[in-house]
Structure formats: C-alpha cells, structure tokens
Amino acid sequence: MAADVPLILEFIRALAEYEKLGPEAIATEADLRATLFGERRYAEVVLADCDGQPAGFALFFHNYSTFLGKPGIFLEDLFVNPAFRKHGVGGALLRHLAQLTVERHCGRLEWSALNWNQLAIDFYLRLGATPMSGWHNYRLTGESLGRVAAAQPGAPQSV
C-alpha cells in the first residue's frame, strides 16, 4: 500500500547502510510512490512483520529469460531488521517470492549478493540457490548512462 512508503524507504536506507552504500540511497518517498504505486508500477514490495513489528522487506520485479521463453522474478532487495534475524523472516520472504514465481508461471527467481556478505551467501546456499559463476554484473548510471543514451554515430535503429 502507498501508506507503507515511509516504512519501505526506511528499510531501503537501512539496507544501504548495511551494504556500506548509504550515500547511494537517494530515493525519496515521492519516487517510491510514483514507481511502486503510480500509474505504471515498476516493482512490487512484500513486507514482513514479526509480532506486529516491521521485520523486513523484499522488493522485486519481473524480468524475462529468452532462453526459457518465460518471465522471471528478480529480487532487487531483501532486508531483515537486525532485531528479527535468525527468526525465519528472510526464509519466509524468499519462500513467498518462490511461491509467486511458481504461481505466475515464471521460469526462475534470481538475485545478486555482495561478495563480502558471507552471512547472506551462506543463507542462500542453504536454501539450495546456485551461484552463477562465470557471470559479472554491469551497470550504466549517471554520466556514463547519459553519454551512451546520447550517442548518435552508428546507433542502431529502434524496432
């Protein structure tokens, strides 16, 4: 619900601090309202509570596998409030996303983990997740994104 936006932003900022990326978390409540609950929704959020207290969240969106010919779900963020870790909250959130993946006839559930976050990596491995060796994540943002977007010579034609 849009009323949950302040809590969602609180979780996003807590995750950014945990990942040592605090300054990169520049999203605002207005950004989240527009992109999560606006006319075009780019992602979805699941909130977890434990004994009536906000315990964690998962933010995800659909992607697509050309090899499978099916949509997938990409888990962008998973965060459990430190006070509720080791209480099954993270497992419950991933189980819920796995159920959505199956219900929506998606081919896979995927996510990334920081290479130093051994606690998370061990958790994912215990679930049976497979690390994707041989793959690297890449990103265009800021000035690089603008430069590529503005490139003219030899630019492919839109379909």
pLDDT in tens, 5-35: 999 999 999 999 999 999 999 999 999 999 9
Q: Pick the catalytic residue: 18, 42, 64, 124?
A: 124
Put the strands of the sheet holding 44-50 in their side by side order.
Answer: 44-50, 53-65, 70-80, 109-111
The SS3 assignment for 108 reads coil
* Residue 57: count of CB within 10 angstroms of its CB: 24
For the cut 60, the answer to whether the pLDDT of residue 159 exceeds it is no
Q: In the structure encoding, which two tokens stand for residue 42, read together?
A: 């780019």
What letter represents residue 82's amino acid?
Answer: P
What average pLDDT is seen over the chain? 93
Q: What distance in Å separates the CA atoms of residue 131 and residue 75, rounded to the nearest whole number?
A: 14
- Residues 6+ away with beta carbon under 8 Å from 151: none
For the cut 70, the answer to whether the pLDDT of residue 156 exceeds it is no
- In terms of C-beta density within 10 A (0-12 exposed, 13-18 middle, 19 or more buried), how is residue 59 classed? buried
What letter represents residue 74's amino acid?
Answer: F
pLDDT in tens, 117-142: 999 999 999 999 999 988 888 989 88
pLDDT in tens, 41-82: 999 999 999 999 999 999 999 999 999 999 999 999 999 999
Please give the pLDDT value at position 151: 85
Q: Are 61 and 97 in contact (CB under 8 A)?
A: no
pTM of the model: 0.89
Closest CA to 37 of 9, 17, 63: 9
Please give the pLDDT value at position 84: 95
- In terms of C-beta density within 10 A (0-12 exposed, 13-18 middle, 19 or more buried), how is residue 54 classed? middle
For the cut 70, the answer to whether the pLDDT of residue 39 exceeds it is yes
* CATH architecture observed for domain 2-128: 3-Layer(aba) Sandwich (3.40)
Closest CA to 108 of 58, 78, 64: 64
For the cut 60, the answer to whether the pLDDT of residue 155 exceeds it is no
Q: Is 124 among the catalytic positions?
A: yes
